[in-house]
């Protein structure tokens, strides 16, 4: 079982714990972020994506697989199974075997493909 990797974010009298091992992707929503877990659960946190990205950058293990894609997403690269630049879609696998697709621009997807291929090759 993988080590629990919680991202702790606090505001006022609240603490948010996001289990990065369970994150499928994070999506910007103005000054908030929607967190989507691989189980299908999702919730909103009152932090912008840049603040979350900055915190992930301080976590050596997490920054290896949590990757910012454009202005809108941070994805868990462990769940990528298909990239289609023609349709501008990134496909992620959920825990139940179903798929989630995200619309991402061609240049961002091409950069992601190059990054994955360079790590594999």
* Within a domain: 1: no
Domains of the chain: total: 1
Q: 10-16 long-range CB contacts below 8 Å, 24 or more apart? A: 11/46, 11/47, 16/45, 16/47
**pTM for the model:** 0.92
| pLDDT score of 5 more than 90 | no
The CATH number for 28's domain is: 2.40.50.1020
111 located within any domain: yes
Give the model confidence (pLDDT) of 7-22 as tens digits: 999 988 999 999 999 9
> Tens digit of pLDDT for each residue in 42-85?
999 999 999 999 999 999 889 889 999 999 999 999 999 999 99
**For residue range 76-119, what is the model confidence (pLDDT) as tens digits?**
999 999 999 999 999 999 999 999 999 999 999 999 999 998 87
Domain residues for the domain of 73 are 6-120
Decide if 15 is inside a domain: yes
């Amino acid at each position: 079982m993988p080590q629990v990797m919680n991202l702790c974010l606090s505001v006022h009298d609240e603490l948010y714990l996001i289990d990065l091992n369970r994150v499928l992707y994070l999506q910007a929503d103005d000054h908030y972020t929607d967190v989507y877990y691989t189980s299908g659960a999702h919730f909103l946190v009152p932090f912008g994506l840049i603040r979350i990205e900055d915190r992930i950058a301080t976590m050596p293990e997490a920054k290896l697989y949590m990757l910012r894609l454009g202005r809108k997403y941070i994805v868990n690269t462990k769940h990528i199974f298909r990239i289609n630049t023609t349709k501008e879609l990134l496909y992620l696998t959920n825990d139940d075997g179903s798929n989630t697709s995200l619309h991402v621009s061609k240049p961002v997807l091409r950069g992601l493909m190059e990054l994955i291929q360079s790590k594999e090759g």
